[in-house]
Structure 1
Amino acid sequence: MPLLPPSLDDRRFDDLVEELIARIPAHTPEWTHPRQGDPGRTLIELFAWLGDTLLYRANLVPERQRLVFLKLLGMGLQPALPARGIVGLAFARDTELAAHKLQPRALLKAAVPFETLAETTVLPITGEAYIKRALPPAQLAQRSDLLQGLARIHRISGALKAYQTTPVFAQGRAVPDGVDVFAQSVDRALWIALLAPPARQADQQGEVNTAVRSALGGGDAALPPLLSVGVVPAVRPAGPFDEVTAATPVPVLWEMTTRGTGDFDTSYITLPVQGGTDTSGGLARAGTLRLQLPDERAIWAPSNDVGENPHAGVGDAPPRLDDPARAARLVAWLRLRPQPGQQVQQLPLAWIGINAVEIDQRNTLAGRVLGASNGAADQQFALPLGSVDATSLQIEVEAPGRGYQPWSRVDDLAAIHADPQVARDATAYELDVEAGTVRLGDGLRGKVPEAGMRVRLAQGRFGGGRAGNLPPLALAELTGTTVAGQTAPPIRVLQPLPLAGGEDAETLAVAERRIPARLRHRDRAVTEDDYRALALEAPSIDVGRIEVLPRFKPRDRRFHVPGVVSVLALPAAPLAPAPNPRPDRPFIERLHAHLSVRTPLATELYVIGCDYVALGLSVAVLVRDGHARDQVLLGVREALRRLLWPLAPGGLDGSGWPLGRAVRSRELEVEVSRVPGVDELRGLRLFQRQGDDWQLLPAIAADGAQQLVLSAWQLPELLSVIAIEGASAPTDLRALPNPFADASAVAVPVVPELC
Structure 2
Amino acid sequence: MPILPPSLDDRRFDDLVEDLIARIPAHTPEWTNPRLGDPGRTLIELFAWLGDALLYRANLIPERQRLVFLKLLGMGLKPAQPARTVVSLGFTQPTELGAHTLAPHGSVKAALPFETLAEITVLPLSGEAYIKRRLNPQERADRADVLQGLARIHGIAGTPQGYETTPVFAEGRAVPGGLDVFGQSADRALWVALLAPVAPRPVDQPDVNGAVKLAMGSGGASGLPALLSVGVVPALTMPAPFEDVATPAPVPVLWELTTQGASGFATDYLTLGVQPGTDSSGGLARAGSLRLQLPGQRDIWAPPNDVGINPLAGVGDAPPRLDDPDRAARVVAWLRLRPKPGESVDSLKLAWLGINAAEVDQRTTVAARVLGVSTGAGSQSFSLPFGSVDPSSLGVQVEEPGQGYRAWTAVDDLAAVSADAGVAREARVFQLDAEAGTLLFGDGVRGRVPEREMRVRLASGRFGGGRAGNLPPGSMGELRATRIDGRAAPAITVQQPLAAEGGEDAETLALAERRIPAMLRHRDRAVTEEDYRRLSEEAPGIDVGRIEVLPRFKPADRRFNVPGVVSVMGLPAAPLQPAPNPRPDRPFIERLHAHLAARVPLATELYVIGCDYVPLGIAVAVRLRDGFARDKVLLEVREALRRLLWPLAPGGLDRKGWPLGRAVRSRELEVEVSRVDGVDELRGITLFQRNGDAWQALPSIASDGAQILALLAWQLPELLAVVAVEGDAPPKDLSALPNPFAEDNAVAVPVVPEVC
Q: TM-score band (shorter)?
A: over 0.9
Tell whether 2:153 aligns with 1:132.
no
The residue that corresponds to 1:482 in the other structure is: 483
State the Cα distance separating 1:716 from its structure 2 match.
0.8
Return the alpha-carbon distance in structure 1 between the equivalents of residues 655 and 709 of structure 2.
Answer: 21
State yes or no: 1:181 paired with 2:184: no
Q: Give the counterpart letter for 2:343 in structure 1.
A: Q
**Cα displacement (A) at 1:143:** 2.1
Separation in structure 2 between the aligned mates of residue 398 and residue 375 of structure 1, nearest angstrom = 12
Question: In the alignment, is the contact (CA less than 8 A) between 1:9 and 1:59 conserved in 2?
Answer: no
Which residue identity does 2:420 align to in structure 1?
D
| Cα shift at 1:219 | 6.6
Secondary structure of 2:555's partner? coil
**Match in the other structure for 2:80:** 80
> Counterparts of 1:51 and 1:582 in 2: how far apart (Å)?
60
One-letter code aligned to 1:189: A
Task: Name the CA distance, whole Å, in 1 between partners of 2:503 and 2:305.
Answer: 46
- Cα deviations by residue, 1:100-131 (Å, 9 ceiling, x for unpaired): 00000111112221111100000111111111
Alignment correspondent of 1:364:
365
State the alpha-carbon separation in 2 of the partners of residues 99 and 56 from structure 1.
Answer: 69
Residue 575 (structure 1) aligns with? 576
User: Contact conserved, 2:82 with 2:469, CA < 8 A, in 1?
Assistant: yes
Unaligned runs of 5+ in 2: 1-5
Query: How much does 1:42 deviate?
Result: 12
For 2:695, the aligned partner's letter is W
Structure 1 residue identity aligned to 2:612: D
Distance 1:656 1:482, change over 3 A: same
Aligned positions of 1:352-431 closer than 5 A: 352-431=353-432
Asked if residue 524 in structure 1 is aligned to residue 488 in structure 2, the reply is no
Name 2:60's counterpart in structure 1.
61
Give the 3-state SS of the residue equivalent to 1:61 in structure 2. Answer: coil
**Offset of residue 740 of structure 1:** 2.4
Deviations 1:541-577 (A, max 9, x none): 1111000000001111000011111111111111111
* 8 Å CA contact retained: 1:17, 1:44: no
Structure 1 residue ranges without an equivalent (≥5): none
CA offsets 1:587-624 (integer angstroms, 9 cap, x no match):
11111111111111111111111111111111222232
Structure 1 position 57, deviation (Å):
6.0
The offset of 1:738, in angstroms, is 2.1
Moved more, 129-138 or 561-570: 129-138
Structure 1 counterpart of 2:552: 551
Contact 1:552 1:559 in 2 (8 A): yes
Please name the residue that 1:203 is paired with.
203
What does residue range 137-152 of structure 1 map to in structure 2 within 5 Å?
137-152=137-152
Q: Could you tell me whether the CA contact under 8 Å between 1:13 and 1:48 is conserved in 2?
A: no
Equivalent residues of 1:280, 1:289 under 8 A apart: yes
SS class of match (2:215): helix
Query: Match of 1:106, as an amino acid?
Result: G
Q: 2:128 matched to 1:117? A: no
Return closer, same or farther for 1:256/1:56 CA change in 2, 3 Å cut-off.
Answer: farther
- Between stretches 696-705 and 53-62, larger displacement belongs to 53-62
Is the 8 Å Cα contact of residues 13 and 49 (structure 2) preserved in structure 1? no
TM-score by length of 1: 0.95
Partners in 1 of 2:477 and 2:50 — Cα distance? Answer: 55
Residue in 1 that maps onto 2:687: 686
Cα separation, 2, equivalents of 1:245 and 1:460: 33
Provide the residue aligned with 2:3 in structure 1.
none
| Contact 1:375 1:449 (8 Å CA) reproduced | yes
Deviations 1:352-402 (A, max 9, x none): 110111111111111111111111111111111111111111111111110
Distance 2:703 2:471 in 1: 56
Distance 2:301 2:59 in 1: 74
Paired residues, number: 747
1:456 paired residue number: 457
Question: In structure 2, what is the Cα distance between the partners aligned to 1:26 and 1:179?
Answer: 82
Which residues of 2 match residues 298-313 of structure 1 at below 5 A? 298-313=299-314
For residues 734 and 143 of structure 1, the distance between their equivalents in structure 2, rounded to whole angstroms, comes to 42
> 1:605 matched to which residue of 2?
606
CA distance in 2, matches of 1:495, 1:53: 58
CA distance in 2, matches of 1:41, 1:181: 90
Q: How far apart in 2 are the matches of 1:188 and 1:13?
A: 81
Partner residue in 2 for 1:728: 729
1:478 maps to a residue whose letter is: L
Q: Please, what is the CA RMSD of the aligned residues?
A: 2.6
Report Cα offsets for 1:26-61 as digits up to 9, x if no partner.
7783528x99xxx99999999999999988766643
Shift of 1:175: 0.8
Q: Is the 8 A contact 1:471 1:497 kept in 2?
A: yes
After superposition, where does 1:538-687 map in structure 2 within 5 Å? 538-687=539-688
Q: Out of 699-708 and 486-495, give the one that drifted further.
A: 699-708
**Does structure 2 conserve the Cα–Cα contact (< 8 Å) formed by 1:9 and 1:55?**
no
CA distance in 1: counterparts of 2:438 and 2:7, whole angstroms: 30
Counterpart AA for 1:273: V
SS in 2 for 1:642: helix
Partner SS, residue 397 of structure 2: strand
Task: Give the superposition deviation at 1:524.
Answer: 1.0
Contact 1:230 1:357 in 2 (8 A): yes
Tell me how far apart the structure 1 counterparts of residues 710 and 432 of structure 2 sit (CA, whole Å). 53
Superposed, 1:692-707 pairs within 5 Å as 692-707=693-708
Question: Cα 1:684–1:751, aligned 2, differ >3 Å: closer, same or farther?
Answer: same
Distance in 1 of aligned mates of 2:82 and 2:55: 36
Whole-angstrom CA distance in 2 between matches of 1:194 and 1:49: 81
Aligned to 1:555, the other structure's residue is in SS state helix
Q: Kindly provide the CA deviation profile for residues 72-103 of structure 1, in whole angstroms up to 9, marking residues without a partner as x.
A: 01111111111111111111111111110000
1:234 lines up with 2:264 in the alignment = no
Shift of 1:340: 0.8
Counterpart check, 1:103 vs 2:103: yes
Shift of 1:160: 2.4
**2:346 aligns to what?**
345
CA distance in 2, matches of 1:20, 1:252: 84
